[in-house]
Structure 1
Amino acid sequence: MGIVVGIDIGGSTTKIAGFREGKMLIPVQISADSAVASLFGAFGKFLYDNNLQLTDIGQVNLTGVGSSEIKQNIYGVPTYRVDEFSANGVGGGYFAGNKKEFMVVSMGTGTSFVEVRNNVPRHIGGIGIGGGTITGLSKLMLNTNDVDKIQELASGGKVGNIDLRIGDISKNPLPGLDLEITASNFGKASSRANCEDKAAGIVHMVIETICQTAVLISNGTDIRDFVLIGNLINFPECWNVCEMIKTMYPQVNFIIPENGEYGTAIGTALANECCLKHVE
């Protein structure tokens, strides 16, 4: 059989990943207003970047909100649809190594949480906080929704000028809460805050909310490992937030993998046959 590729057609970007003899090829992501345009654009770039011919592709698996617009085989190649939550679970498992129980936190336009036990994924739920929140608030507060610009601004800002922290209201750490823990997002913001600080506050608030939610919904279970996937893992603040949360919950382990932004596409490519439905 030829190469199986997985394509995640999301709300703002399309990502594609594929494997040859168990080795991942160069993944690709592009943005376009049309799901169909982004699909074929990503597919063509994937072939070019990996020096492939169309005849090298044996199967195409699709997932994501935009995949419902695809009603026929791609370039005549057998094409299947994969449930997105199953794809998240499989993609998270690719990065989780030999761990048997873990949670996949898919940080896209919004965020979904998928619990995986013994290779069986189960969708726990989701929240309407994610990359779309960052770009939306940035458009209102910073007059830009360009992700690269937001990331540049955030890297030069100080969250401590925006967020109210435990150290701002107490001279001593509280039980389980050191002085750097957030007491209130934007609780210290003023009208004089600069754009860099505002950007840092927005990014920190969104990532902190996502990671805190993941830990809180796992309370009462034996889940201790959290695999983060999606474009938000590329914000440096993601690592900082995870380290901060670990001071409150020392037992948790956040996995921020290389190429984790392609987690859903990877899971789509690796999905078991039982998860596949032919496009109609």
Structure 2
Amino acid sequence: MAIVIGIDVGISTTKIVGINDEGQVVAPKRIKATDPVASLYGAFGKYLYDNKISLSDVEKVMITGVGAAYIDSPVYGLPTAKADEFISDGLGASYETDIDRMIVVSMGTGTSLVQCIGDDIRHIGGIGVGGGTLMGLSRIMLQTDDIHTINKLANEGDLKNIDVQIGDISPNPLPGLPKDATASLFGNAKSNATREDIALGIITTVLQTIGSTTILSSLGSGIKEYVLIGNLTLLPQCKTVFPSMEKLFGVRFIIPEYSEFCTAIGAALVYVKGKKGKE
């Protein structure tokens, strides 16, 4: 069995997948990253062991992500190359959704936006708001950056105690804006707001900011489908924030099955599809 390994070495996590000779994704895996080199080799070794893959089965190792800059030699002596992260985002999202006109929204520590129209994949920008923002604000405001604790708190929160909604400033809906639409993030926050309300406010602020930026980035392109990838797609609040924005703006946000592994999948596909990687 020949297999191509894709590894996304990120700031906080390393993700690894395989693409077999039938073009199928094999057992994606993620581990928490502390040191990028150690996490890459640890993830690779565990992946091979868990899936009973021998080194001789590996045709190519493709690495991408910010941590790839620390890797300067072949992984375990195997043929190794570096894949462009934005190309990997586009190829992975296309593979997972079979959509050929979209903006890929990579929600990691920050957020990058990649426009895909057929084979034309290009980075169109990004914002410094993402998982790093969520963690930083939570450390300051909630005295924790444990995502499970933050989620548990947010599940009990009420946005009416944090945000200003249209209904708070107008007795009637405004043109194109229902009364429950957000007028000001954190605009209604009180000094005695509960930790639960604050947690929900932080998550909503990050997700709404990413969603609004994505919609604005597509103006004039005719694109109305946005594929969300990265670790933040695992937040349960994605299932409420983005559908509300879909209804409000007439667009579509899609979270594919392997959303957190799309970049790693795309890195492997760079080789599979014969695109250029840096050896």
Q: TM-score surpassing 0.5?
A: yes
1:129-167 deviation line (CA, Å, top 9, x unaligned): 000000010011111112222222222222222111111
Q: Which amino acid aligns with 2:258?
A: N
Partners of 2:190 and 2:49 in 1: CA distance: 49
C-alpha displacement of 1:22: 1.7
1:166-209 deviation line (CA, Å, top 9, x unaligned): 11112211111111111111111111111111111000000110
Partners of 1:55 and 1:193 in 2: CA distance: 58
Partners of 2:125 and 2:107 in 1: CA distance: 13
Partners of 2:260 and 2:156 in 1: CA distance: 23
Partners of 1:275 and 1:184 in 2: CA distance: 45
Partners of 1:240 and 1:275 in 2: CA distance: 39
Runs of 4+ in 1 over 4 A off after TM superposition: none
Aligned residue number for residue 242 of structure 1: 242
Give runs of aligned pairs for residues 152-171 of structure 1, distance below 5 A: 152-171=152-171
Secondary structure of 2:278's aligned partner: strand
Q: Which amino acid aligns with 1:206?
A: V
Identify if the C-alpha distance between structure 1 residues 48 and 156 changes in structure 2 by more than 3 Å, giving closer, same or farther.
farther
Q: Which amino acid aligns with 1:15?
A: K
Q: Does 1:2 align with 2:7?
A: no
1:86-113 deviation line (CA, Å, top 9, x unaligned): 111111111221x321110000000000
Aligned residue number for residue 275 of structure 1: 276
Gaps of 5+ in 2: none
Gaps of 5+ in 1: none
Aligned residue number for residue 181 of structure 1: 181
Partners of 1:236 and 1:275 in 2: CA distance: 37
Kept after mapping to 1: 8 A contact 2:11/2:33:
no
C-alpha displacement of 1:67: 0.4
Kept after mapping to 2: 8 A contact 1:178/1:247:
no
Kept after mapping to 2: 8 A contact 1:9/1:62:
yes
Partners of 2:204 and 2:161 in 1: CA distance: 12
Aligned residue number for residue 73 of structure 1: 74
Aligned residue number for residue 261 of structure 1: 260
Secondary structure of 1:274's aligned partner: coil
Secondary structure of 1:197's aligned partner: helix
Identity of aligned residues (%): 50
Kept after mapping to 2: 8 A contact 1:105/1:229:
yes
C-alpha displacement of 1:25: 1.1
Kept after mapping to 1: 8 A contact 2:10/2:33:
no
C-alpha displacement of 1:248: 2.1
Partners of 1:154 and 1:50 in 2: CA distance: 37
Q: Which amino acid aligns with 2:260?
A: E
Q: Which amino acid aligns with 2:18?
A: G
Q: Does 1:95 align with 2:96?
A: yes
Partners of 2:252 and 2:50 in 1: CA distance: 34
Aligned residue number for residue 14 of structure 2: 14
Partners of 1:171 and 1:53 in 2: CA distance: 67
Aligned residue number for residue 65 of structure 2: 64
Kept after mapping to 1: 8 A contact 2:93/2:227:
yes
TM-score by length of 1: 0.95
Partners of 2:149 and 2:38 in 1: CA distance: 25
Give the count of matched residue pairs: 276
1:198-243 deviation line (CA, Å, top 9, x unaligned): 1110000001100110001111111111000001111111121111
Partners of 1:107 and 1:275 in 2: CA distance: 25
